[in-house]
């Protein structure tokens, strides 16, 4: 893997506010051309394009289509489709690449472009570097006889619904289970309700009326308060919250309590272990709660931590031979089912375990005792490396001595803004809060001293 710095690609494609920088129609047109030149070098190449429900998706879909056509690539338009659905269809269509127009859980005024390889996996760093290098070249159009054509895929939704249902054993159904389903007014609005209904559940749907502007607005996995209230109001067995592009999952138990990615990851991993499937290696991230690690160890499983980001979770799964991994935010990856994080697939695996154990979500999530976490964002005028700062190092060591084996300290620079995230985890919430504040104060002091010395 090259150490060359990427100019446009972040941990999950290119993302930003619509109209700013790379998230503009002229740049996206050339990006489509560059992707066509790099990923679709064969004759008769084809690339799939899908999007979430943002109003800007129409504009960027057209721009990508024009760029790809200029590179001589045929385009297959999927329309609104969950990100994991695009990964799946890229494989089944034997396409050279899949492109997703989405900013995931961000508000409507943001958008992004991310890519899947012909295997339905995130692009390697080397390929992203090659695309960025191609962006420096002059855009040239192939001869008219070689221009790419556009095709509308009318049955994309149905194909993906059947794929999701295939992840559930044939003899299992969810009859008698009442579910409140929040689609975040996003890409799952016309997919997820049918998946759960066709598997027998009684489904109460919310967040399924997208208007281009209301994606993730007071709904979905990042805003589950209305879902919590709805579960209690309807006396439902549980609630399911997806995000705008369908790759995140948060659930709510029948008492209205949120069940996050760490707890869902444990439920799925434990289920596989009890059935003699999967692997002892489970992958979380640096932010995964230590309570998850302890609960997995009690069931003879080991938590391996990756950097934050689902691409890094997948890399660690491949490295350790693991099958299940995920993030606290709700990216859950089941490599025995699919190639990327999939909120619907993950939810189905949890429902299957509820049926197998004749239990409920509240009881299953109670097997994990989460430790209190305090997270403080220390904002900087510009990013400063604190990893070699003696005062910060000593402050972290002092906190770790106090916490012992029953806690953790993590300093993590943001990948998108000049912020250092200070996370302290331990059994005592008051202690974790105090230690996090102490470390944050030391970082702020060191930052002031560095700025003063520069001035």
Catalytic residues: 104
Looking only at the bridges linking them, the beta strands covering 324-326 and 249-253 are: unpaired
CA distances from 286 to 308, 339, 383, 434 (A): 6, 22, 20, 21
Q: How far apart, in whole angstroms, are the C-alpha atoms of residue 307 and residue 184?
A: 27
* Rg of the chain on CA atoms, in Å: 23
CA atoms within 13 A on the CB side of 259: 30
User: Which tokens is 389 given?
Assistant: 């700062």
Q: How far apart, in whole angstroms, are the C-alpha atoms of residue 161 and residue 397?
A: 50
Q: How far apart, in whole angstroms, are the C-alpha atoms of residue 274 and residue 118?
A: 34
Q: Which 8-state DSSP code applies to residue 429?
A: H
The answer to whether 320 touches 280, Cβ cutoff 8 Å, is no
User: Which tokens is 219 given?
Assistant: 């709904």
Q: How far apart, in whole angstroms, are the C-alpha atoms of residue 408 and residue 423?
A: 8
Tell me which residue of 187, 246, 183, 242 sits closest to 54, measured CA to CA.
Answer: 187
The answer to whether 150 touches 75, Cβ cutoff 8 Å, is yes
Residues 6 or more apart from 376 whose CB is under 8 A from it?
421, 422, 436, 437, 440
Centre a 10 Å sphere on the Cβ of residue 318 and count the other Cβ atoms it contains: 13
Residue with tokens 């089944």: 92
Q: Which 8-state DSSP code applies to residue 13?
A: B
One DSSP character per residue, 64-109 reads HHHHHHHTT-EEEEEEE--HHHHHHHHHHTT-SEEEEE--TTS-TT
Q: How far apart, in whole angstroms, are the C-alpha atoms of residue 98 and residue 132?
A: 17
Helix (H, G, I), strand (E, B) or coil at 330: coil
Torsions phi, psi for 169 (to 5 deg): -55, 145
């Amino acid at each position: 893997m090259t150490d060359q710095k990427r100019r446009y690609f972040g941990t999950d494609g290119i993302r930003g506010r619509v109209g700013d920088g790379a998230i503009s129609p002229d740049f996206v047109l050339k990006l489509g051309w560059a992707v066509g030149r790099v990923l679709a070098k064969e004759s008769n190449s084809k690339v799939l394009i899908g999007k979430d429900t943002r109003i800007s998706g129409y504009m960027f879909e057209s721009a990508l289509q024009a760029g790809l056509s200029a590179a001589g690539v045929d385009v297959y338009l999927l329309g609104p489709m969950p990100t994991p659905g695009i990964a799946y269809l890229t494989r089944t269509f034997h396409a050279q690449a899949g492109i997703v127009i989405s900013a995931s859980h961000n508000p409507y005024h943001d958008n992004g472009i991310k890519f899947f390889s012909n295997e339905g996996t995130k692009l390697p760093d080397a390929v992203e570097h090659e695309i960025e290098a191609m962006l420096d070249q002059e855009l040239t159009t192939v001869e008219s006889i070689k221009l790419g054509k556009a095709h509308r895929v009318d049955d994309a939704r149905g194909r993906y619904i059947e794929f999701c249902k295939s992840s559930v054993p044939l003899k299992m159904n969810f009859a008698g289970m009442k579910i409140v389903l929040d689609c975040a007014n996003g890409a799952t609005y016309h997919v997820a309700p049918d998946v759960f209904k066709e598997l027998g559940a009684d489904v109460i749907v919310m967040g399924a009326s997208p208007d281009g502007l209301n994606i993730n607005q007071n709904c979905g996995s990042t805003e589950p308060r209305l879902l919590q209230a709805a579960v209690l109001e309807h006396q439902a067995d549980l609630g399911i919250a997806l995000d705008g592009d369908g790759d995140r999952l948060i659930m709510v138990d029948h008492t209205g309590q949120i069940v996050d990615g760490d707890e869902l990851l444990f439920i799925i991993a434990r289920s596989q272990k009890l059935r003699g499937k999967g692997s002892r290696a489970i992958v979380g991230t640096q932010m995964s709660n230590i309570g998850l690690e302890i609960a997995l160890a009690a069931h003879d499983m080991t938590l391996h931590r990756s950097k934050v980001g689902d691409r890094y979770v997948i890399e660690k799964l491949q490295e350790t031979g693991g099958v299940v991994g995920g993030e606290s935010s709700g990216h859950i990856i089941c490599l025995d089912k699919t190639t990327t994080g999939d909120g619907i697939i993950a939810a189905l695996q949890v429902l299957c375990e509820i049926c197998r154990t004749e239990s409920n979500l509240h009881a299953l999530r109670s097997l994990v005792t989460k430790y209190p976490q305090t997270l403080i964002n220390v904002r900087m005028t510009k990013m400063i490396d604190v990893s070699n700062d003696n005062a910060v190092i000593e402050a972290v060591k002092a906190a770790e001595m106090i916490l012992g084996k029953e806690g953790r300290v993590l300093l993590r620079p943001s990948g998108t803004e000049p912020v250092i995230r200070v996370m302290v985890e331990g059994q005592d919430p008051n202690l974790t809060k105090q230690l996090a504040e102490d470390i944050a104060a030391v970082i702020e002091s060191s930052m002031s001293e560095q700025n003063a010395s520069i001035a």
